[in-house]
Amino acid sequence: MAKETDGNYGHILKYTGVFGGVQGLNILMGLVRNKLVALLLGPEGMGLASLFNTTTNFISQTTNLGLSFSAVTRISAVFETHDEAQMAQAVKTVRAWSLLTALVGMLVCVLAGPLLSEYTFSWGNHTLHFILLAPAVGLMAITGGETAILKGARRLRSLAVIQVYAVIVSLLVSVPVYYFFGQSGIVPVIVLLALVMMLLTIRHSYRLYPLRLRGSKGVLGDGLNMVRLGIAFVVAGAMGSGAEMFVRSYLNVHGDLEAVGLYNAGFILIVTYASMVFSAMETDYFPRLSSLGDDVARLNQMVNRQIEVSLLIVSPMLAALIIGLPVLIPLLYSHDFLPVIAMAQVAVFSMYLKALSLPVGYITLAKGDSVAYMVLEGCYDVLFVALLVVGYQWWGLYGAGVALSISYLSDLALVGGWAAWRYHYRVSGPVVYYAAIQLSLGAAVYLVSLLDHPWLYWSLGILLCLVSLLISLYILHQKTSLWTALIDKFKAHARS
């Protein structure tokens, strides 16, 4: 294997491990919190919390003007110049727009309360709940701006620390509130956690760039180009949040709160589990992809290698998840959530497909084609909602799981076809080969999960998971020298 190839694969594997490790720690602590909250609230309470959270996220994403994306680009560009005066002005601009979007978001949440109550719930009047959630929307807008400043200034360690502390504090805050107040504590917990996240973020960002109000005149005008860049991402994010909100509202109206809670538990479990691998893409892969310009050959090479590494790492984890769900669900939630197992097992295939589609989807973002990105996201959201409605009507929650996997297959076809036509992306032979192997093993594991015989279930399931793991380790060993470097480092420590 050529040295240049080895270095690229090793870089991807290294940073996937670094950022995945931080995400894994967050997930572990988050699972403890979810377990305790599930015991305290039950499926119905989890469903209610899911409805409020998705609605709050929807309002936040429709009113934040895309600052979480466009502000990173603005801050990062100024940061590279090492001009402190320009940097101070850019930070003021981001903070001014963040404050403006916070006020607008709160106002929208208050005014839209009656409408949200009518279309989100089929019972009771929840207008007051949505009005009380308005501060959370404002706090999230300020947090988004400060987070963008830290990202643009390359303060990745600070971001990791914030995430870890946020999960710990959320556990310490939410569990006592739910214990004493039950479902009545859902709205206060959402607001309190938004406040905690904002305070943790500004603690780091204000230390880096102290808050200065003097000289802020005219900063809103300086940020117009930044805002224009983010509009398409606002629309795409709003469509995504709107689709998630519609799905949960549909399940609530045509099913019940328990159905919402079960669906949300299964969805969160498979998505957060796989995010340990995908979390590195925005932080490491996307900036590298954006720097390639119009070099088609290097773009194809980088995208295909990212797919290979992501697929090889995530596949054994997903195979183990399929087999382990009957143990994980009652362990992480409670026995009341056992009906979601069948849905979650079939929905796991959506994450196999995401490993193939996500690196390709970033090409559109790297090229700055915000309108194309918006259209592609809109098509996916429409397909996702339509498939889930049909799937739930035919087969209940299991049908919802099938719909999730089919929607990700549709997304792969959409982004892959667009990238091939617009950017001349070509999938490599190794990607097709590894995908065929790991998807076949995943399908075999799923078939084993349908067996009623416990001995066959566990013996065959564990065997197939080990085969998937060994294949991935063998291929990664062939493509990188990272294992040799780790062994050499271990020997050096042992000698010392």
Q: Output 282 or 406, whichever has higher pLDDT.
A: 406
pTM of the model: 0.71
Residue 477 has pLDDT above 70, yes or no: yes
Q: Which of 284, 202, 239 is nearest to 23 (CA)?
A: 284
176, two tokens: 């006592």
* pLDDT at site 6: 38
Half-sphere exposure of residue 127, counting CA atoms within 13 Å on the CB side? 8
* pLDDT at site 282: 63
Looking up tokens 């934040």, which residue turns up?
A: 64
Distance CA 244, CA 238 (A): 10
Distance CA 406, CA 408 (A): 5
Identify the DSSP state of 285: I
Which residues are CB-neighbours of 173 under 8 A, at least 6 positions away? 189, 192, 193, 196
**Which of the listed ranges 1-15, 299-313, 323-337, 440-454 does the model predict with the highest average pLDDT?**
440-454
| AA identity, residue 171 | L
Distance CA 175, CA 237 (A): 30
Stretch 216-240: mean pLDDT: 70
Half-sphere exposure of residue 267, counting CA atoms within 13 Å on the CB side? 19
Residue 438 has pLDDT above 90, yes or no: yes
Looking up tokens 């931080």, which residue turns up?
A: 22
Q: What length does the chain have?
A: 496
291, two tokens: 């720097």
Which residues are CB-neighbours of 396 under 8 A, at least 6 positions away? none
Looking up tokens 């996916």, which residue turns up?
A: 380
Distance CA 279, CA 18 (A): 10
* pLDDT at site 140: 94
Q: Output 82 or 194, whichever has higher pLDDT.
A: 194
Average pLDDT, the chain: 82
Count CB atoms within 10 A of the CB of residue 496: 5
* pLDDT at site 374: 85
* pLDDT at site 482: 54
pLDDT category of residue 1 using cuts at 50, 70 and 90: very low
Share of the chain above pLDDT 90, in %: 33
* pLDDT at site 411: 94
* pLDDT at site 471: 94
* pLDDT at site 7: 41
Residue 117 has pLDDT above 80, yes or no: no
The answer to whether 133 and 52 are in contact (CB under 8 A) is: yes
Q: Is residue 180 packed enough to be buried (19+ CB in 10 Å), middle (13-18) or exposed (0-12)?
A: exposed
Buried b (16+ CB within 10 A) or exposed e, 49-74: bbbbbbbbbbbbbbbbbbbbbbbbbb
Share of the chain above pLDDT 70, in %: 82
**Which of the listed ranges 56-70, 305-319, 455-469 does the model predict with the highest average pLDDT?**
455-469
pLDDT digits (tens, 9 = 90+) for 302-356: 899 889 988 998 899 999 999 999 998 888 777 888 888 999 999 999 999 999 9
pLDDT digits (tens, 9 = 90+) for 239-260: 887 888 788 888 888 877 788 8
272, two tokens: 């957060």
3-state secondary structure of 122: coil
The answer to whether 120 and 58 are in contact (CB under 8 A) is: no
Distance CA 243, CA 250 (A): 10
The answer to whether 461 and 448 are in contact (CB under 8 A) is: yes
Q: Of 236-245, 319-328, 387-396, 477-486, which gets the smallest average pLDDT?
A: 477-486
Of the chain, the end-to-end C-alpha distance in Å amounts to 32
Residue 221 has pLDDT above 90, yes or no: no
Task: Please state at what angle helix 67-79 crosses helix 84-111, rounded to 10 degrees.
Answer: 170
Residue 121 has pLDDT above 70, yes or no: no
Q: Which of 388, 419, 392 is nearest to 406 (CA)?
A: 388
- 437-to-67, 431, 464 alpha-carbon distances in Å: 41, 10, 12
The answer to whether 292 and 419 are in contact (CB under 8 A) is: no
Looking up tokens 């110049």, which residue turns up?
A: 81
10, two tokens: 């090793």
Residue 3 has pLDDT above 50, yes or no: no
pLDDT digits (tens, 9 = 90+) for 158-191: 877 888 788 788 888 888 988 888 888 888 999 9
* pLDDT at site 16: 58
70, two tokens: 């466009």
| AA identity, residue 31 | L
pLDDT category of residue 2 using cuts at 50, 70 and 90: very low
Stretch 458-469: mean pLDDT: 95
Stretch 103-114: mean pLDDT: 90
* pLDDT at site 127: 82
Looking up tokens 């998937």, which residue turns up?
A: 468
What is the residue-wise DSSP string for 98-113? HHHHHHHHHHHHHHTH
